[in-house]
Amino acid sequence: MKKTVVRVVCAIGQAGQLGLKGGLPWEGNRSPEFVADVARFFDLTRGHVLLAGPKTIASVPDFARADRDLVVVRSSMDPEDTLQRFVGRVVFIGGGPPVWDAYARFVSHWDIT
């Protein structure tokens, strides 16, 4: 039986911050390490499913929309039912602590950058 592989790519700032008003505290920083981190995220999720809240999905740039499945999740949605739609696929969970909390029991790999 095929299984859904659930992963998280989590960016944590040097001061432990996970987000700032719906964005990343280092958003727009053009330093090589930040540019590489964002490029790595899009490389890892290419060809897979990205489940996230509406703000995170809305922030995905146009160039990255064609080569991954983007799915908005809401707190009213049952994580198990949602994941059943993607059996045999790799699913990345994005969007921050509320979304990670809802899906944590299904996550097989946490990639923290």
Domain limits at 71? 5-112
- The domain tally of the chain equals 1
Report the chain's terminal Cα–Cα distance, integer Å. 32
pTM greater than the 0.75 cutoff: yes
More confident residue, 11 or 41: 41
30, two tokens = 């053009």
The beta strands (E) that lie in 1-113 are given as: 5-10, 49-52, 69-72, 90-93, 109-112
Residue 19 — pLDDT band, cuts 50, 70, 90?
Answer: low
CATH code of 99's domain: 3.40.430.10
For the residues 70-81, what does the mean pLDDT come to?
94
Backbone angles phi, psi at 59, to 5 degrees: -85, -5
Does 31 have pLDDT greater than 90? no
Quick one: what percent of the chain has pLDDT higher than 70? 92
Give the pLDDT confidence of 6-17 residue by residue, as tens digits: 999 887 777 777
Residue 24 — pLDDT band, cuts 50, 70, 90?
Answer: low
